[in-house]
Chains A and B, each alone.
Chain A
Amino acid sequence: MIIAVASGKGGTGKTTIAVNLAAAAGKSSRVNYLDLDVETPNSHIFLKPKIQWQEDVSKDLPVIDQEKCTLCDACAEICAFNAMAIVGNNVLVFPDMCHSCKFCGVVCAEKAINDQPFKIGEISGGNVDNLWFAQGLLNIGESSAHKIVQTLKNRVMVDAGLTIVDLPPGTGCSVVEGLKGSDFCILVAESTLFGLFDMSMTVEILRKLNIPFGIVINRSLDSGQAIKQYAEKDNIPILQTIAFDRAIAECCSCGNMIYHELPVYQKSFHDILEAVEELIKQ
């Protein structure tokens, strides 16, 4: 069973909910945990896994054999991403622009274009207690986050047991890529104007992908009224409401787990897991 944790708006508590759900589920069985927020991954700060493996993620870049190249301009002409240009007696390749479509290699009459891997980030993983952990990290200055997400999922997605997936904020391609294949999605929403607006956009994605979902209202100040009205109107289950509590904010700011430091909240996380299981059965 794969449970994804998403939000739309950033900073609503995705990672907080995801890591503490993992701790709760880890009480009784082994849990797999994937941090797919490859631009700013934070789960490792809380879970503190011992990293045991690491692999580079690369994209293929064209390399020009200047001996064979006749400067015919065919490659630069067909490149839909403006990643190649002839400057003087050289073909320049702009790595940031290249999508690795390999059109240039196909169109080159002199067979002067070869592929060379170019590192854009890495994936890594390890264990801690009952948890099997993996994460991705995009190199600074690189833009293809969804490629790291894809690689990480292809390499490690496990069907056995429970897998918890921590997603990035936003509604872009990394979120969609990360959500694919999930059995359920927990939407962590702040009961604010911004939280509601951004969550409603993530709801659109989930409907498009046909993934069942429920809401955890986090840091609620108005007992979650704004979100509750929206959820009721749209028939979306509310899995849990967690009130605003300075103790939680302080606990998380130190990189500590609510589940261990504030036991009064343990039941909330077990209840979320139970509610999700119940909803998936239906």
Chain B
Amino acid sequence: MKEIAIMSGKGGTGKTSLCSSLISIAQDQRILLCDCDVECPDLHLLIESGKVIETGCQYALKAQIDFQECLQCNLCVNYCQFNAIHDYVVSADECEGCGLCQYLCPVEAVSMKERIYGWWFQVETAYGPMLRARLDIGEQNSGKMVALLRNNAREIAARENCDFILNDGPPGSGCPAIAATSNCDLAIIVTEPGCSAIHDLKRIVELCRHFKIPCGVVINKCDLNEKCREEIKQYCSTEGIALFGEIPFRMAYPEAIANRQIPSEYNGEIAKEVLNIWQAIRMALMPN
């Protein structure tokens, strides 16, 4: 079983469009879909889900001060590194749950309480099992939620004899992006010919190298800027990064999404291009 992450650095380059099209093209394989963009999950908008097989919530520990017991000695306030305690009340948004205040309190006025920060769901779709999550707004734990989703994904994939796990990744290069790519067999970086996307592509390549994950590139909207397109190809060849394919700009993409359809099912040309990309990906995963 191989784990693949679709990444980009810059948002809006077409991760979810490619991910949904790949799953539709590769129906001869058993693939588990995992939407690792837990802050802005969109994959389920294209992949109609049937019944929820399993669901669960995630807790984080947050300190709470019992006002009746509190001596207002300020020990907790002075030691808290997160500046989370004001007027002897803990702000749950700031509290990172270290428990130092509970340890320091001379009268045991502080307790650690569980707070739900998000939910995860395993659903059945026409394309196989899918995992997705919904994080509460502004939560600090998006990386943790992604890690949990991926642990569940591995268990289910093993149980259901899946050939692949396909992670639709988040934008950026920080905590959730690291959690979505760590230990993957391959990262597909979706980029586009533009200065910003190239800048961010290089950061994700660095990230993959830092965590020793093989990666390859797909150039989306490739005909938007010839000069930048050449620059990406040049960069890939100098750095020894595989180019899995190129996808020209087509109005069919926004149209497909507006119609809640998977782009490769909406347009035959897209289907052909994505099939070629899928073959390049399989070659990269199984060189023999």
Contacts and interface: CB of A to CB of B under 8 A. Distances in A.
B224 A250 contact: yes
A269 B95 CA distance: 39
A43 B40 CA distance: 22
Contacts of B16: 194
Given A101-B96, A192-B257, A197 B174 contact: no
A52 B136 CA distance: 39
Given A99-B96, A176-B93, A143 B137 contact: no
Residue picked from A10, A173, A204, A254, most chain B C-beta under 10 Å: A10
B113 interface: no
Given A141-B178, A193-B260, A194-B257, A103 B98 contact: yes
Interface stretch (B4-12, B51-59, B262-270, B274-282): B4-12
A42 B199 contact: yes
For the side of the interface on B, what is the size category?
35 or more
Contacts of A138: 173-174
A140 B100 contact: no
A254 B98 contact: no
A76 to B, nearest CB: 14
A254 B100 contact: no
A192 B93 contact: no
Contacts of A193: 42, 45, 257-258, 260
A173 B138 contact: yes
Nearest to B93: A176
Interface in A25-60: 37-40, 42, 45
A2 interface: no
Contacts of B11: 9-12, 169
A141 B39 contact: no
Interface string B163-181: 0000000111111111000
Interface residues of A, number: 58
B137 A171 contact: yes
Given A140-B207, A205-B138, A42 B10 contact: yes
A94 interface: no
A80 B99 contact: yes
A201 B99 CA distance: 31
Given A10-B10, A172-B142, A39 B257 contact: no
Contact of A15 (B39, B104, B170, B196): B196
Interface in A182-236: 190, 192-194, 197-198, 201, 204-205, 208, 221-222, 226
Contact of B172 (A12, A39, A205, A255): A39
A109 interface: no
A226 B227 CA distance: 35
A171 B174 contact: no
Interface centre among A81, A107, A201 (most CB of B within 10 A): A201
Contacts of B174: 38-39, 138, 142-145, 174
Contacts of A37: 172
Given A102-B81, A193-B257, A205-B138, A253 B225 contact: yes
Indicate the member of A11, A99, A106, A142 with the most B CB atoms within 10 Å: A11
A172 B193 contact: no
Nearest to B42: A194
Given A15-B196, A40-B203, A141-B207, A168 B172 contact: yes
Contacts of A140: 173, 203, 206-207, 210
A9 B12 contact: yes
Contacts of A253: 192-195, 224-225, 228
Contact of A198 (B42, B173, B258): B42
Contacts of B67: none
Nearest to A222: B258
A101 B194 CA distance: 41
Contacts of B203: 39-40, 140
A173 B199 contact: no
Residue in A11, A40, A194, A201 whose Cβ sees the most chain B Cβ within 10 Å: A40
Given A170-B39, A170-B172, A253-B224, 19 more contacts: A9-B12, A10-B12, A11-B10, A40-B9, A80-B98, A81-B98, A101-B81, A106-B103, A140-B206, A168-B172, A169-B39, A170-B40, A171-B40, A172-B142, A173-B142, A190-B12, A192-B254, A208-B138, A226-B258
Interface of A: 8-12, 15, 37-40, 42, 45, 78, 80-81, 99-103, 106-107, 138, 140-146, 168-176, 190, 192-194, 197-198, 201, 204-205, 208, 221-222, 226, 249-250, 252-255
29 contacts: A9-B12, A15-B196, A40-B10, A40-B173, A40-B199, A40-B200, A40-B203, A42-B200, A101-B82, A106-B100, A106-B103, A140-B203, A145-B174, A170-B40, A170-B142, A170-B176, A171-B135, A172-B135, A172-B142, A173-B139, A192-B258, A197-B40, A197-B45, A208-B138, A221-B251, A221-B254, A226-B258, A252-B194, A253-B224
Closest 6 interchain pairs by CB?
A: A10-B11, A11-B12, A101-B98, A253-B194, A143-B175, A255-B195
